[in-house]
Structure 1
Amino acid sequence: MISLAQVRADTPACEHLIHFNNAGCALSPAAVTTAVTNHLRLEQELGGYEAANEAERNIAAFYPELAKLLHCDESEIAFMESATRAWQSALLSLDLQPGDQVLTADNEYASNYLSLLYLSRRHGVELITIPSGDDGLIDPQRIADSITAKTRAVALTHVASQRGDVQAITEVGEIALENGLVFLVDACQSVGQIELNLKQIKCDFLCGTGRKYLRGPRGTGFLYANRETTQSLVPPAIDLHSANWASPSEFEIKAGAIRFESWERNVAGMIGLGKALKYANSLGMESIEARVRLLAESLNRRLQSIDGVEVHERSANLSGIVTLSRVNTEAGTLRENLQTLGVNTSVAKKQNARLDLDSVLDRDVLRASLHYYNSEEEVTRFVDLLAAS
């Protein structure tokens, strides 16, 4: 059971604003900010290398905490500067050839889809895009039916940036495994709000960012790389951290997910992300997910009663992300008006969702994304302000 009073006390900004922009960048617990600033001060006092040596245990804590959260082995975890870099590193390690097919969906994150388009244009990889159904979900059977002898990989976003529907990645993982396909999952919007058990999901790669529902610092992310999959893969780039220089003309790529890491990193951010992961683990993902769903369902239900407001989530499988439109009011105007009243939201722009918002809705939408430290009173305040707008 989560103590709302305690988690709000641990989040100082809750005193003066309503933060419904957790899908963009969540508010960090005070302990995370303290860990980051303490290390920056240590660098100032000792020097960067010396501070890293001093903080070696705090730096290394990131790996077991994330492994615990995801139910995987520490050796399968790589620290990355962003989820996009993590996803690209995984994709580019596959050595796809002209004519190879990659299956994806029309809700795919913009940066991921751009990377796939880039592979298609530069290397002749064929991109097959599966449309979502009327309920906003990708039917796993449609993915299965789209597999051919040329299919090499499936890429799927668990929860999209522009809609809060939760995709069936466990079922898709089974299909990919049965057909010998590499399965890449973008969990940016789900990790930290939905329990992820990689023993059940059976994906080859899964990426996430620290700044969203994990409540970590910006400039941090991770890549899960299945140990069996990575044994035969070569990362798109290496350095003296991910490989050993064995002789003047030879090198050896290190075993495990470390092969995707770089030596240079945001050390203070890595320490902060480790603290954020520890905080999430202390609360328990089951409790976090239950509370986030409760708040999102409450918001979704109340929004249905406001004339002129349309909610765009179409399935019963909801996350903490709720997207909406207001008749005769641009999403950007709504966001600005709410911010002046102390409510943070964000706008999902149609140019960043060409296959969804652009082609289906043809407009930007307001995105309200809730976390466990939000309250029912904040939901009520948000709905009242929206109704009065």
Structure 2
Amino acid sequence: MGSNQNITLPSGSIFSEREVQKFRNENKGCSNVIHLNNAGAGLMPDIVTEAQLDHIRLEAQIGGYEASALRADLIDEFYQQAAGLLNCHSNNIAFTSSATDSYTRALSSIPFQQGDIILTDKDDFVSNQIQFLSLQKRLGVKIIHINNAPIGGVDLQDLEEKLKKHQPKLLAITHIPTNSGLIQPVGEIASIFSGYSKTVTDKTWYILDACQSAGQMKLDVKFLKCDFLSLTCRKFLRGPRGTGMLYVSDKALDARLEPMFIDMRGATWIEKDLYEQQPHARRYEDWEFAYSTVIGTKFAIEYCRNIGEDRIERQVKLLSTILRGKLQELDTDRIRVLDRGPELGGLVTFTVRDSNPLTLVNELLKRKINVVPSYRQFGVFDFDEKGVTWAIRASPHYYNTLDELDIFTESLKEILR
């Protein structure tokens, strides 16, 4: 388990043993646990941890406002790194506290009226669906779901037909749901949405939730064609908790969209009954946030980009495919792997007949193995279609090894005896 021990990597590994050993040496947590909960919060590289601690120490020594002023150039580098991550301009980036915070700010800026339609997929993130239901209750909007294809993921033909038929105010897609290994076909969705938008100008806004895909794979907003993209930094990006970001397109900025509760960071109060919004995406930010986490996130994004998102994606897919195979071979009578879709990523989900999810998670914790349970209320459509009420989610990252996957599956086998 320790970061300085010899490691074994799978055949076809994208990274060499030397590279993976370096990744593990650069994070103290790899010596303590087998971390298969990267879809919850990845282990932060030591450089990310130290950057935050350094800034907190500076705040303690000279004052919080003074520390952020002194580190203004470093803070600005967050926006530059984030823009590089998403292939956009730094003026399109807002820093937030989470993916949900980002999503809520974007959602609140869309001028819904009674009867407007939200078109969304059935594998959307639970908090997004709750927010839609809240809008339905408060404003009288309508929620229409895109059918799933037999293989899983959105039915692209149904998406295209419902876009044309309903001309929704909002198209909302979650790239990778929190409770499944599914990767939605966002390239094809972008193509369909782009074609539709040419015939129905400025009718529909498109929000893409990239909470689980950021840091796991390359994200290019020019390719994705979304108006907003929300993400967290604590998961596969390996940044601090309490951090997120929001991409806001030039189209949305030029349309003067703004969050419902814009504050003094996002606007200037110029007359007693008049304010002027900021021209860039920082109109979606609040005045106050922890600058230590902004700096930590800057280093996390930089760390990820230096490794290469394409290489990370291939390694995560390799480890996840191997893990699904190991689970399927372990006990075909009791263990059922639940992931399905045209493309699968780094979230491996399974259920175990005649078992309790908390018991499994706690027994694995005793063995210093981190996984989490997922429940029906996290994805009602998905769980009901699969006929289950809970799942265990294991999510490997590029610093995990074949040895760790073997220890995990052998531990699970031992617990189930």
TM-score (ref. length: structure 2):
0.91
Q: How many residues end up aligned between the 2 structures?
A: 389
Q: Which has the higher mean CA deviation after the structures are superposed, 349-358 or 268-277? A: 349-358
Q: Counterpart in 1 of 2:63? A: 47
Tell me if the contact between 1:76 and 1:226 (Cα under 8 Å) persists in the aligned partners. yes
Tell whether 2:179 aligns with 1:162. yes
Q: Counterpart in 2 of 1:295? A: 319
Q: Counterpart in 2 of 1:182? A: 205
Shift of 1:358: 4.5
1:75 to 91, 94, 103: 91
Secondary structure of the 1:246 match is strand
Tell whether 2:361 aligns with 1:335. yes
Shift of 1:179: 2.4
Tell me if the contact between 2:376 and 2:383 (Cα under 8 Å) persists in the aligned partners. yes
Q: Counterpart in 2 of 1:260? A: 284
Tell whether 2:343 aligns with 1:326. no
Tell whether 2:363 aligns with 1:347. no
Instruction: In structure 2, give the amino acid aligned to 1:140.
Output: L
What is the Cα-based RMSD across aligned positions, in Å?
1.3
Q: Counterpart in 2 of 1:28? A: 44
Shift of 1:151: 1.4
Supply the distance in 2 between the matched residues of 1:316 and 1:28 (Cα, whole angstroms).
31
Q: Deviations over 1:299-335 (max 9, x none)?
A: 1111111112110111351111100011211222111
Tell me if the contact between 2:85 and 2:219 (Cα under 8 Å) persists in the aligned partners. yes
Supply the distance in 2 between the matched residues of 1:226 and 1:10 (Cα, whole angstroms).
35
Secondary structure of the 2:95 match is strand
Q: Deviations over 1:33-76 (max 9, x none)?
A: 00011111111000110111111112111111111111111111
Instruction: In structure 2, give the amino acid aligned to 1:189.
Output: Q
Tell me if the contact between 2:152 and 2:342 (Cα under 8 Å) persists in the aligned partners. no
1:229 to 252, 260, 285: 252
Tell me if the contact between 2:374 and 2:390 (Cα under 8 Å) persists in the aligned partners. yes
Supply the distance in 1 between the matched residues of 2:177 and 2:73 (Cα, whole angstroms).
35
Supply the distance in 2 between the matched residues of 1:182 and 1:295 (Cα, whole angstroms).
36
Secondary structure of the 2:101 match is helix
Tell me if the contact between 1:231 and 1:256 (Cα under 8 Å) persists in the aligned partners. no
Secondary structure of the 1:347 match is strand
The alignment-based identity, stated in percent, is 35
Instruction: In structure 1, give the amino acid aligned to 2:362.
Output: E
Instruction: In structure 2, give the amino acid aligned to 1:243.
Output: A
Tell whether 2:216 aligns with 1:193. yes
Supply the distance in 1 between the matched residues of 2:123 and 2:21 (Cα, whole angstroms).
36
Residues 300/359 of structure 1: CA separation in 2 closer, same or farther (3 Å cut)? closer
Q: Which has the higher mean CA deviation after the structures are superposed, 245-254 or 194-203? A: 245-254
Q: Which has the higher mean CA deviation after the structures are superposed, 306-315 or 187-196? A: 306-315
Shift of 1:167: 0.1
Q: Which has the higher mean CA deviation after the structures are superposed, 30-39 or 248-257? A: 248-257
Structure 1 gap ranges (5+):
none
Instruction: In structure 1, give the amino acid aligned to 2:180.
Output: R
Structure 2 gap ranges (5+):
1-13, 198-203
2:308 to 262, 268, 284: 284
Tell me if the contact between 2:123 and 2:153 (Cα under 8 Å) persists in the aligned partners. no
Supply the distance in 2 between the matched residues of 1:249 and 1:133 (Cα, whole angstroms).
51
Secondary structure of the 2:143 match is strand
Instruction: In structure 2, give the amino acid aligned to 1:247.
Output: E
Secondary structure of the 2:289 match is coil
Secondary structure of the 1:305 match is helix
